[in-house]
């Protein structure tokens, strides 16, 4: 091989030995493919019989037309990347990725999703080895339709939100939350939060506390709560002919957002102080936090 002197029109007479490694990388790209010899033979066979890739190879060898409309419609999807497509050992490549024949494309999706990786990981794995028009869309669709991934996926689907009727009077509509030590009742009209200590989260304690609240403020028309213990037979008998019971969705506390907001207000303002002191007294204390009334609590 002779090396041309770029500063003159006369090349150098001295011969330079060819670099066999560079020659192998340039001329034999297919040797660096991460596919087995058996799979390579299968690719070559399907490529030779594939109508789309046969026509693509013809355009690659004979040259592309001057305008996209003059080319066959079958290869229109390859037009933006036509200069990066080449042929090597009866296979077609886009850059360093093999173009998969149409018949083998569905079979390539399963190895890509082996190990049940997420969409991003599968796209990265496929994008380094294989290619065809719309490959990313096909990989993403295959991963989303995987039954195993769907079964063990996090339950974080957003539920459809809807607004409840706005009350016109105080304590017409209340939300209740029963914890292990406290019962929190929030008025939807004034956003007033009532916190009551409980001896235990049982029906008797909850009924006695609700009786005290409704004796002071009057019976409500609607009470929204979780299922335990408000959905018990005893509490239903207590609420019968007094107010309507509505329950939040199981494992979806956001459906009773007013009660959850009351819990947040309680722990954010004085809950930590009460848990630290750890004692109660028999006083009704209204703290200087607007909308928070605590019964039998010391702070």
Strand order in the sheet with 173-178: 244-247, 222-225, 173-178, 182-187, 193-197, 292-295, 284-286
Q: 60, 85 in Cβ contact below 8 A?
A: yes
User: What is the assigned CATH class of domain 173-295?
Assistant: alpha beta
Helix (H) / strand (E) containing 196: strand 193-197
Tens-digit pLDDT profile for residues 221-246: 888 887 778 888 888 888 888 888 88
Q: Pick from 186, 234, 184: which is nearest to 207 by CA?
A: 234
Whole-angstrom distance, CA of residue 80 vs CA of residue 128 = 19
Instruction: Report the CATH architecture of 20-151.
Output: Orthogonal Bundle (1.10)
**CATH topology match: 20-151 vs 173-295:** no
Q: Decide if pLDDT at 159 tops 80.
A: no
Whole-angstrom distance, CA of residue 103 vs CA of residue 48 = 12
The pairing of beta strand 173-178 with beta strand 130-131: unpaired
| Domain limits, the chain | 20-151, 173-295
Tens-digit pLDDT profile for residues 183-215: 888 888 888 888 787 776 688 888 888 888 888
Whole-angstrom distance, CA of residue 233 vs CA of residue 228 = 11
Among 16-30, 108-122, 262-276, the range scoring the smallest mean pLDDT is: 16-30
Q: Kindly state the tokens that stand for 252.
A: 């979806």
What beta strand segments (E) does 69-128 contain?
85-88, 91-94, 97-99
Q: 222, 243 in Cβ contact below 8 A?
A: yes
Roughly what angle, to the nearest 10 degrees, separates helices 105-112 and 135-144?
A: 60
Q: What is the pLDDT of residue 102?
A: 92
Q: What is the pLDDT of residue 273?
A: 54
């Amino acid at each position: 091989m002779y090396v041309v002197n770029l500063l003159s029109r006369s090349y150098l007479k001295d011969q330079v030995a060819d670099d066999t490694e560079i020659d192998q990388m340039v001329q034999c790209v297919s040797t660096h493919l991460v596919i087995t010899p058996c799979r390579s033979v299968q690719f070559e066979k399907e490529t030779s019989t594939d109508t789309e890739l046969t026509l693509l190879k013809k355009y690659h060898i004979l040259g592309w037309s001057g305008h996209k409309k003059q080319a066959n419609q079958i290869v229109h999807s390859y037009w933006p990347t036509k200069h990066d497509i080449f042929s090597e050992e009866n296979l077609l490549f886009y850059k360093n990725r093999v173009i998969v024949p149409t018949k083998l494309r569905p079979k390539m999706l399963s190895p890509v999703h082996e190990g049940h990786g997420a969409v991003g990981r599968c796209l990265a794995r496929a994008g380094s080895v294989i290619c065809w028009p719309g490959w990313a869309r096909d990989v993403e669709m295959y991963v989303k339709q995987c039954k195993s991934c769907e079964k063990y996926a996090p339950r974080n689907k957003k539920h459809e939100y809807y607004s409840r009727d706005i009350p016109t009077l105080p304590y017409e509509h209340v939300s209740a939350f029963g914890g292990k030590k406290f019962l929190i009742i929030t008025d939807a009209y004034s956003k007033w939060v009532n916190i009551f200590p409980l001896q235990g989260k049982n029906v008797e304690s909850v009924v006695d506390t609700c009786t005290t609240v409704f004796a002071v403020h009057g019976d409500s028309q609607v009470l929204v709560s979780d299922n335990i213990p408000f959905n018990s037979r005893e509490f239903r008998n207590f609420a019968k002919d007094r107010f309507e019971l509505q329950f939040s969705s199981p494992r979806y506390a956001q459906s009773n957002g007013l009660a959850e907001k009351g819990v947040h207000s309680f722990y954010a303002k004085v809950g930590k102080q009460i848990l630290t002191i750890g004692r109660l007294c028999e006083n009704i204390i209204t703290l200087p936090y607007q909308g928070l009334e605590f019964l039998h609590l010391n702070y």
